[in-house]
Structure 1
């Protein structure tokens, strides 16, 4: 196997194990914390608040993460970030409100360096001809975590209407062990292969102020301002499918007596959609490359258009299927139709596939357009995405399903049009070469 491809595959596997634990926990955190509150009324920790803190600190720390990558290198930065994820999960063994929110802040910092390191490492192991393939492979491996973790949750919650203490302990222990395995795997990543050698793996410190100025200057460029709309949409979509939607299914008691078990099944089908998208767009990567130089093919904008249609269909079906009160807690209310579990699970798949459409193409554009400035570009992507996710998790405690879906549709339209504009300029640049 080509060394670059081997590096990308090992990177994807490392992320797969870490995020098998974290994304599974994010998918069920609201439900889990509700069950803890039932057993311990003094515990007041809230799942949406925890996730809002995570993404709020994630956003802020993205401004310093390029400097950390410059100092420690991408591999060590990703290892430290993964350690933060493990500590966050460990904290659930001793549930206290203060510890929950403190660890939420810690994982926000860890997320900033693990994702900026990932973007840098992936870019350094890719070029213009392999970026589509590599980003697709990485995304498919990463999102296998949604399938694996939620399959486990599905069977653990079989025939359960409440998460008792023994069930929670089993969940936490398994997820912590899986996350720890992924953390250790970061230690065996090999040095990135780059013809330019433009990653600092030697630990030479760069000025934090200089890196922040560089990031801010990039942030204000025309194309980055346009991409920010796409980034912002992916953040709202991320928070919706990873923390709100599956919990809303579980809270909709009118869907049937197995509504809690459907939380895990929803996560499984979100993962199936993500994985299918990752592998599909990896296979189509070569055709996407030919599009950029003027030939006919399945390019970035075509994939985004597919994602737009997929998400619109998903939002519309959710609107008519789940009641407005479903994000807040158990409800017997109905929407425009009798809540249907098959429609709910179909929408899970569509949400995952639509997310894959956007994220794989964003990785492609960042890797190609900002190949010489990958760390700041990836940090800005994660900054806007996490700001949006933090805002979304904050308002999820206040806005019902209908308002949340309306905001998703508005930002989807704006993000899609903005991406088309940037992709056209990138296409024109390739034609000139």
Structure 2
């Protein structure tokens, strides 16, 4: 298809999912969700491929080093992406400011129990990351529908802009068409034969785990008991703002594998401190300090998310330039699988067990990533 057409097609799933929220039911939401899962895989592989191609093309056209250029492109993209968590909250609050509306903003998912408690009044709109809004106590249907119409408008603008994207990244990519299904399959699995990818996969999976943790566990078990459901939006807005800043900063400092190792180390240490503190010392507190702690945790967690998003995308572009579509496909396979694991496990295991799982995954994935840096990859193998 080419990455540009994949981006345009991928938006159709988000468009349909938002539209389904105008008449939410199992018969509209379930098919729309399934289709969204299919198209999301297309759009995110296309995004990684296009951004990498555009960055490398820009670097070569302007005689710039590949590493810093890729880092800057990814930092700016993921910074803007993370800002939607703040923008989405502001748009929601602006359109649903009626005093009768009780607004609960959840990022990407809410627990099944919450859906039952709300008697399926929870509806969802996509402005990735997905924002779930619970309208209770006589919430305005008109206001809710207006919100979804605004998001539909955002999607339409996005589709138009993607249609205007440059085709320069596809000049060389057109040569990589496959003559048979077998040749395409070999291309898809090629990264799995590379030990660099094998050592990166655990960190890729952890990046999905930590995203799902903040959406499904942090909001439910850390924020809600202290700030209530109404505090979730504020906590996630602070998380998003921290994510924005760290994405932009991390992108600017990226130059290759060794700079990425330092940056990832900072993010991993920050998240490790949070996990072990929650596991060993944390207990809900009252008062101003107790209310500030979940917000502070959200800000710290945003540091790790911003770092992992920018560095993993930049590294895949640098290490797997010849098979970048297949490399970014592996990124989404392992990230999405890890996210699914957290959502399936979170209703049935305790917070302590989840924290132990997260800490173990972080230690293993970070250790293997250090092995990639120290043993496998040589500085001369990356243009910097």
> Which of 275, 280, 294 is matched with 2:249 structurally?
280
2:269 corresponds to 1:269: no
Q: 2:88 aligns to what SS in structure 1?
A: helix
CA distance in 2, matches of 1:152, 1:320: 38
CA distance in 1, matches of 2:179, 2:362: 37
Q: Deviations over 1:292-348 (max 9, x none)?
A: 5xxxxxx111111101111123334555798xxxxxxxxxxxx45449221111111
* TM-score normalised over the length of structure 2: 0.78
Q: Which runs of 5+ in 1 are unaligned?
A: 1-71, 293-298, 323-334
* Structure 1 segment 197-276 matched on structure 2, within 5 A: 197-200=171-174, 207-248=180-221, 251-252=224-225, 255-256=226-227, 259-276=228-245
Query: Which range is displaced more, 362-371 or 339-348?
Result: 339-348
Q: Deviations over 1:254-285 (max 9, x none)?
A: x24xx233221122112111111111122213
> Which of 133, 142, 161 is matched with 2:81 structurally?
142
* Paired residues, number: 334
Q: Deviations over 1:41-94 (max 9, x none)?
A: xxxxxxxxxxxxxxxxxxxxxxxxxxxxxxx21111111101111111211221
CA distance in 2, matches of 1:107, 1:146: 19
Partner of 1:173: 149
Q: Which runs of 5+ in 2 are unaligned?
A: 57-65, 104-134
Displaced runs of 4 or more, over 6 A: none
Given the superposition, is the C-alpha separation of residues 219 and 409 from structure 1 closer, same or farther in structure 2, using an over 3 Å criterion? same
CA distance in 2, matches of 1:138, 1:309: 24
Q: Deviations over 1:198-230 (max 9, x none)?
A: 31299x665444222322242243221111101
CA distance in 2, matches of 1:427, 1:93: 51
2:158 corresponds to 1:182: yes
Q: Deviations over 1:336-379 (max 9, x none)?
A: 54492211111111111111111211112111110111000010
> Which of 349, 354, 364 is matched with 2:304 structurally?
354
2:83 corresponds to 1:126: no
CA distance in 1, matches of 2:36, 2:76: 25
Given the superposition, is the C-alpha separation of residues 321 and 89 from structure 1 closer, same or farther in structure 2, using an over 3 Å criterion? farther
CA distance in 1, matches of 2:173, 2:262: 32
* TM-score normalised over the length of structure 1: 0.70
Given the superposition, is the C-alpha separation of residues 431 and 81 from structure 1 closer, same or farther in structure 2, using an over 3 Å criterion? closer
CA distance in 2, matches of 1:350, 1:224: 28
> Which of 331, 342, 356 is matched with 1:381 structurally?
331
Given the superposition, is the C-alpha separation of residues 432 and 92 from structure 1 closer, same or farther in structure 2, using an over 3 Å criterion? closer
